[in-house]
């Protein structure tokens, strides 16, 4: 049975290295027979959370922007993947804003169980994605049925497209392909 896989690419750059990881993951998930969608956050208008917590009572955010389309897709996905560049040893601001605005999911009957983390950075030391991954893990902790199912880091890439040929692309593909 195919699964719904939603990939949220949070890089502000077109053809970015983290987006290449997202696309490799998507290809693997599609090759495994899954229904896959990539949402590129740079193409969306997403405002900051106002902290009003109205969503905890209504299940809907009071801020009117493109998150009203994204939240239902996240809720109905069997698996979520977040792709981000690492800036200053953290996730992109776009990803953090997305996680904050996903607050209506906290009271929802969400389907996702497996969450994946895809990241790239100019630095290539193993510790580089740890803070960003920890931030995502904090978000996942709020969803008792979900878990971090896998992570791939492509380090040592700065310029657009520099990740071509990087071993992380094959790892992202295989991780996506393992979704059954």
Structure tokens at 100: 């904050």
Helix extents (H) in the chain:
17-31, 55-58, 67-76, 93-101, 130-141, 167-177
| pLDDT tens per residue across span 35-46 | 999 999 999 999
* CATH number of residue 88's parent domain: 3.40.50.360
Length of the chain: 180
In this prediction, residues 101-126 reach a mean pLDDT of: 97
CA distance 70 to 5: 13
Asked if residue 79 lies in contact with residue 117, where contact means CB atoms within 8 angstroms, the answer is: no
CA distance 9 to 84: 6
Global confidence as pTM: 0.97
Q: What is the pLDDT of residue 173?
A: 98
Domain count, the chain: 1
In this prediction, residues 12-32 reach a mean pLDDT of: 97
Q: How far apart are the first and last CA of the chain?
A: 8
Which band of pLDDT confidence, cut at 50, 70 and 90, is reported for residue 104? Answer: very high
Is the pLDDT assigned to residue 70 strictly greater than 90? yes
Could you tell me the residue range of the domain that residue 118 belongs to? 4-177
Is the pLDDT assigned to residue 1 strictly greater than 90? no
Is the pLDDT assigned to residue 110 strictly greater than 90? yes
CA distance 16 to 13: 5
| pLDDT tens per residue across span 116-135 | 999 999 999 999 999 999 99
């Amino acid at each position: 049975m195919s699964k719904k896989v939603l990939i949220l690419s949070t890089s502000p750059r077109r053809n970015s290295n983290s987006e290449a990881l997202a696309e490799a993951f998507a290809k693997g998930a599609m090759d495994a027979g899954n229904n896959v969608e990539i949402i590129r956050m740079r193409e969306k208008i997403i405002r900051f959370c106002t902290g009003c917590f109205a969503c905890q009572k209504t299940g809907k955010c009071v801020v009117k922007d493109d998150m009203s389309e994204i939240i239902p897709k996240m809720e109905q996905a069997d698996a979520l993947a977040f792709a981000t560049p690492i800036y200053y040893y953290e996730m992109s601001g776009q990803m953090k804003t997305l996680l904050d605005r996903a607050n209506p999911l906290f009271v929802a009957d969400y389907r996702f169980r497996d969450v994946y983390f895809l990241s790239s950075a100019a630095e290539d030391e193993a510790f580089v994605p740890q803070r960003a991954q920890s931030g995502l893990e904090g978000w996942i902790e709020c969803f008792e049925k979900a878990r971090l199912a896998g992570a791939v880091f492509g380090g040592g890439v700065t310029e657009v497209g520099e990740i071509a040929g990087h071993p992380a692309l094959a790892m992202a593909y295989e991780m996506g392909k393992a979704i059954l």
